[in-house]
Amino acid sequence: MQTIAIVDYGMGNVRSVQKALEHVAPNDHCILTSDPQVIKNSDRIVFPGQGAMGACMSALSSNALTDEIKLASRAKPFLGICLGLQLLFDYSEENDGINGLSIVPGKVLKFRNKDLKIPHIGWNSVKQVGDHPLWYKIDNNCRFYSVHSYFVDEDDASCVVGTTHYGETFTSAIAIDKLFAVQFHPEKSQSDGLQLLKNFANWN
């Protein structure tokens, strides 16, 4: 039995992520934790997030999680969700400018089209622009549920494996080695979202 650690730093509905993982990986140990040592000892890491990036960075620092998340993102299967994608980057325009974890080169930008409803809330298709094991049994251009006002602008487009169009085309999934991160919420995206989480639990 493997252990899947869901990083709980007090921001976002991490319980829904835990329940979804328990559903697709009933033989695994899916735990919520803010303990760096537990993250270090776990087999897989899920890094979810909701809310403002500045508050999340402060919460990570307060819980001494920053260094262990950086290490885990390079050492073992690692899934970032929503703000858990944005936090991986160098810098965000949110909160008048805030530095991220600098795991992935690039920045986080706010939607600029004033005709769009912001935050972007709802179901949008994800175009798979790169092959990856986490797309297994998920049709190209299937729909996932999103809630966000910012999007990532990566320095190296080779990491992009999924894009979404909302006024403009933006990156909604990236993959680098053992790291996979998405802008949408698989735990809220019905069967396709559950399939992605199942793929993550089985990803070698």
Would you call 113 helix, strand, or coil by DSSP?
coil
Interacting residues of 81 by C-beta distance below 8 A, sequence separation 6+: 17, 46, 47, 48, 49, 181, 182, 184, 185, 186, 187
Q: Which tokens hold the place of 36?
A: 């760096």
Tell me which of 56, 142, 148, 185 is the catalytic residue: 185
The HSE-up count of residue 71 (CA atoms within 13 Å, CB side) is: 13
23 is catalytic: no
Round to whole Å and give the CA distance between 32 and 164: 30
- Point out the catalytic residue in the list 30, 82, 142, 159: 82
The answer to whether the beta carbons of residues 108 and 86 sit under 8 Å apart is yes
The two beta strands, 89-92 and 98-99, are: antiparallel
Cβ neighbours of residue 154 under 8 Å, at least 6 residues apart? 89, 104, 105, 106, 160, 171, 174
Catalytic residue at 185? yes
Do the Cβ atoms of 150 and 109 come closer than 8 Å?
Answer: yes
Determine whether 82 is an active site residue. Answer: yes
What is the total residue count of the chain? 204
Query: Looking at the annotation, which residues are catalytic?
Result: 82, 185, 187
